[in-house]
Structure 1
Amino acid sequence: MKRIGRFGAAVGFVLLSGSAYFVVSWPSVPPEAIQSSVIHRPELIDRAWRLPVATKFNTEITWQSNSSRCGPASIANTFRSLGEQKTTEAQVLEGTGKCWTGICFMGLTLDELANVARTNTHRKVTVLRNLTREEFREHMKRSNDPGRRYIINFSRGKIFGGGVGHFSPIGGYFEAENLVFVLDVNERYKPWLIQRQRLFSAMDTFDGDQKRGLLLIEDN
């Protein structure tokens, strides 16, 4: 069941009163591990929300509806920041054939999420995989460009000591401090800052037989 690592949820199937219900549980990362593993200091987070791309999100994130839908939630928030018409999980999934039950069973790969984005935008969507540390640094520097949006696919376990694959938008980069602003779509984690090298190490991991990476959405 290696693909379950894409979203880190335990999915159960329960029969109640003759009806089928799906149960999705969150990864068991303690709150103290979340707080100690990344930077949530209010003064830095406030500064980060003033970065050129972060301001386009209006200091607001619409949280993922369940732990399997971090990818669609990331696309929905990113589309909202770009002024696209489809800005909810349900809307960005329309016409894709994905997650039609409400659950993204086994999660979405980076390539699958790219196809979800392409279905509902005319903007250019690019998968960036097998990046070097220097290439990643250059992309993080460009994450402050208001015409570009990055969504990162990374392993939670590499940062928080628990949890597995996850998607979230990048809100920008403090080059002097070497900190990346991750707009986490999981309400338990909320947006946080992290050293670029640590985030690269969490991204530079495998989902099945392919590396995780970045999704770039930009004007044509």
Structure 2
Amino acid sequence: MNNPASPAVARTERRHRLRRWALGLVLALSVPGGLSWYGHSLVAPHPEQFASGVSRDAPALKTIRQTALAQTFLRDFRVQEHWSSCGPASLRNVLASLGRPVARERDLFQGDTLAWLRMAVTGMTLDEVAALAESTGIGQVQVRRDLSEQALRTLLGSLSTPGRRLIVNFDRAPIHGVSLGHFSPIGGYDPASDRILLLDVTPGFGVQLVPTALLSEAMNTQDPVSGRSRGLIQIDAGPRDAD
């Protein structure tokens, strides 16, 4: 996996993670409904806040949903099981699209209960989700940061490459009007309208067409936990019999 964090960045990320743990535990113990209330209050969809050009019902959406890549996802697409598990949910959907289904998000952690509980309380960073993907043995996993719009379009144009999948990490604010880090897989690209098929794993948001420029803006933001730029995870799966 490329783009490893420097020791200084890793120390900063650990400090931020401890703060996330503290916040999560306070919410769990002091708020009625605990973490489920906290997550729901942040991510409840408000379509009237969606940015111009983001669509859940455009004619182009119906067309792109029928493409081969989109169909590999939609045959067994599942929303996230927990408010904090958008990263593992995205990875589970990628694996299912490649014919390697996982029954539960927790199974991705391969018995590491501490890592699972940490995710449940604090969520995950881009590098953490990439490491989780790499641990499945799916194939080559790359973290891509600071992509220009044109570089993003070029990468989107390569989605027909067998076994290639993309998981995007972005701030919802430019797209959905609420500032919150999020993960979702990309299910296709429509060059005619220059829009991306975003397979949002949060219940209620649904499959959307998002302008490339808008998703690029949302990706090129800083994750306050890691102190690093958001971006995407590129997965190039190896042959099934190589597992």
Higher mean alpha-carbon deviation, 182-191 vs 102-111, is at 102-111
Q: Please name the residue that 1:189 is paired with.
A: 205
Q: Please name the residue that 1:71 is paired with.
A: 87
Verify the 8 A CA contact 1:205 1:211 in the aligned structure 2: yes
Displacement after TM superposition at 1:51 (Å): 2.1
SS at match of 1:168: strand
Q: Please name the residue that 1:51 is paired with.
A: 67
Taking the aligned partners of 2:133 and 2:119, their CA distance within structure 1 comes to 18
Verify the 8 A CA contact 2:126 2:169 in the aligned structure 1: yes
Q: Please name the residue that 1:23 is paired with.
A: 35
SS at match of 2:137: coil
Structure 1 residues 204 and 46, CA, compared in 2 at 3 Å: closer, same or farther?
same
Taking the aligned partners of 1:2 and 1:157, their CA distance within structure 2 comes to 21
2:230 matches 1:212: yes
Decide which of 168, 177, 182 is 1:161's aligned counterpart.
Answer: 177
Verify the 8 A CA contact 2:51 2:175 in the aligned structure 1: no
SS at match of 2:28: strand
Letter in 2 for 1:214: L
Verify the 8 A CA contact 1:143 1:170 in the aligned structure 2: no
Letter in 1 for 2:134: R
Displacement after TM superposition at 1:67 (Å): 1.7
* Higher normalized strand content (fraction of residues): 1
SS at match of 1:135: helix
Letter in 2 for 1:136: L
Taking the aligned partners of 1:138 and 1:97, their CA distance within structure 2 comes to 39
SS at match of 1:207: coil
Taking the aligned partners of 1:210 and 1:69, their CA distance within structure 2 comes to 20
Structure 1 residues 212 and 59, CA, compared in 2 at 3 Å: closer, same or farther?
same
Taking the aligned partners of 1:23 and 1:105, their CA distance within structure 2 comes to 8
Verify the 8 A CA contact 2:89 2:201 in the aligned structure 1: yes
Structure 1 residues 45 and 156, CA, compared in 2 at 3 Å: closer, same or farther?
same
Decide which of 106, 128, 138 is 1:90's aligned counterpart.
Answer: 106
Decide which of 4, 13, 32 is 2:28's aligned counterpart.
Answer: 13
Decide which of 115, 124, 131 is 1:108's aligned counterpart.
Answer: 124
Displacement after TM superposition at 1:219 (Å): 2.7
Q: Please name the residue that 2:12 is paired with.
A: none
What 5-or-longer segments of structure 1 have no aligned partner?
none
Taking the aligned partners of 2:170 and 2:112, their CA distance within structure 1 comes to 23
Taking the aligned partners of 1:87 and 1:141, their CA distance within structure 2 comes to 31
In the alignment of these two chains, the number of paired residues is 214
Higher mean alpha-carbon deviation, 186-195 vs 104-113, is at 104-113
SS at match of 2:150: helix
Displacement after TM superposition at 1:96 (Å): 5.0
Structure 1 residues 133 and 3, CA, compared in 2 at 3 Å: closer, same or farther?
farther
Higher mean alpha-carbon deviation, 162-171 vs 25-34, is at 25-34
TM-score normalised according to structure 1 size? 0.84
Please tell me the root mean square deviation across aligned C-alpha atoms, in Å.
3.0
Displacement after TM superposition at 1:97 (Å): 5.4
TM-score normalised according to structure 2 size? 0.77
Displacement after TM superposition at 1:132 (Å): 1.8
